[in-house]
Amino acid sequence: MCFKHKALGVVAPSVFLFDQVTKLAVIIFLPMSERWPVIDGFFDLVHFQNTGAAFGFLADSDASFRIPFFYIIAVAATILLIFYFRSLGEKERILPVAISLVFGGMAGNVVDRIRLGVVTDFLFFHIGDRSLDFSLLGKKVHWQLEWPAFNVADSAITIAMALFLFSVFSHRRGEER
């Protein structure tokens, strides 16, 4: 078995299982909307339910649009990734891992949507309760110094995107030599 198939067979299921186990633990042990400080003033475990995508994208849109939209995007992404995965050479190392991370993360969030109708987010980084307040073009701006809550699946997908970028830039750098 070549590396890309081994990566897919190990990474994707591992991400999926870790994502689902951590979300289940949050659902069981952490009441909705409660915060448990891990690193005071910087990192909390929380229990939020996200009806949208990353950063709450489309969270306020009508469910009759939002729900089918997310499933269509997941199916389209899966098809594209399968074709891309199949085209990878046997010597490729970074991209099979990246694609496997995406598959595992995407599966974790899709299962949440199917099972619960929402995605459970629980990792929350912030800088105390601080915010930046300033005026921009005559309007007052209030920007809370926090990152929207996320989960293991989101983390895997983010790491995958970083690996994709690394692969693209390292490949281009190799062509310039």
Task: List phi, psi (to 5°) of 171.
Answer: -70, -45
Phi-psi region of 130 (alpha: psi -120 to 50; beta: other; left: phi over 0): beta
Task: For residues 105 and 85, give the distance between their C-alpha atoms in angstroms, rounded to a whole number.
Answer: 16
The residues that are catalytic are 121, 154
Could you count the other beta carbons within 10 Å of the beta carbon of residue 137? 5
- Nearest to 119, CA basis, from 157, 145, 82: 157
> Hey, is 92 helix, strand or coil?
coil
Beta strands 139-146 and 119-136: pairing type? Answer: antiparallel
